[in-house]
Amino acid sequence: MADASTLEIRETRATALGEAEAHLTTSYCDHRLAPEDRSEAVDFRHRCLPLGGSGFNFLQYGREVSVSSRGFEEFYMLEMPVAGGVDIAFGTESIRSEPGKALILSPGPKFRSRWREGTRQWMLQIDRRLVEERVAAIARRRDSVNPVFNPVIDLRTRHGRHLLSVLKAFSGMLGDDPHAIGRETIDGAMTSVVDELLRNIAFTRDGSVVPERLHAAPRHVKQAMDALRSRYAERLLIPVLAGEIGISERALYDGFQACYQRTPHEILTRIRMEAARQLIREEGLSAAEAARRVGIHHLGRFSATYREAFGVLPSADIRRDH
């Protein structure tokens, strides 16, 4: 990971949008920057502490800017606004960051974002290989596909507060001599960030849209999740399900938010969409029949939700495979 003998703070400033675009494309991945008005002037500032395949960054544009990219493959990016915030269309999700709410962006999906005026961010680039190593160590298995994390992190949670403290420590390094910080300390901090993500943030993999967890959920959440997976075709009512388990609807809602960053109804919808896609792709069912089989009786709503989940309409999946 980090080599203390080669730690060096790098700073780049630019006053023209094209200069900022060229710098980011060279440093990270393909970037396209566009102003929200006709002016090309920016107050771009990027301070970076490279840490092997990872790195800690402070970034600002000094104005409202739109950013688009085909995505990145070799790293994860933990973004935490110091001021302002960013609206991001990431894959099929629309998400928003602001002080108190961080984002973890995973390799792969293309994205488009709008940095609101005055936004300044801490951005921790995490080497994909480190995530692979920690998945293997924690799960005691080597997964072939990297996790795609649910992107929004509430910094009021215990793990959110830990991530905030680590990024504050890295920010302090940008103002000090990084050689004063030992390699073991830096490597330990990076590992702790990845472990907090893996233990507390749900993720998807292998093209699935249903989130899973590396560590087991509490008993009542697991019971509810098992019921959603086995009874998704029924007319399931979340308050009734909570009563069957013996907890309040609020407790079930809070449990799913903590474990999956999703409501029980959102998880049920994702399970139904995944089951419907399997029926369409593998059994050649029509959209209407697949929707009925998974417990959805409004075809227009089904098609819209399907496209939101997979990026294509059900009819496109049918044409592709049959």
Among 37-51, 65-79, 217-231, the range of highest mean pLDDT: 217-231
- For the chain, the average pLDDT equals 89
pLDDT band with cut points at 50, 70 and 90 for residue 213: confident
Model pTM? Answer: 0.85
* Whole-number pLDDT of residue 197: 95
Q: Per the structure, how many domains does the chain have?
A: 2
* Whole-number pLDDT of residue 1: 53
Whether 194 and 265 map to the same domain: the answer is no
Whether 200 and 233 map to the same domain: the answer is no
- 97 inside domain: yes
- 211 inside domain: no
Whether 148 and 279 map to the same domain: the answer is no
Check which CATH number belongs to the domain holding 300 and give it.
Answer: 1.10.10.60
Give percent above pLDDT 70 in the chain.
93
- pLDDT at residue 302 is higher than 90: yes
Whether 24 and 141 map to the same domain: the answer is yes
- 17 inside domain: yes
142 vs 9: CA distance, rounded Å: 34
Express each pLDDT in 214-268 by its tens digit: 888 899 999 999 999 999 999 999 999 999 999 999 999 999 998 998 999 999 9
DSSP string, 167-217: HHHHHHHHHS-GGGS-HHHHHHHHHHHHHHHHHHS-EE-TT--S-B-SSPP
Range of the domain at 200: 4-204
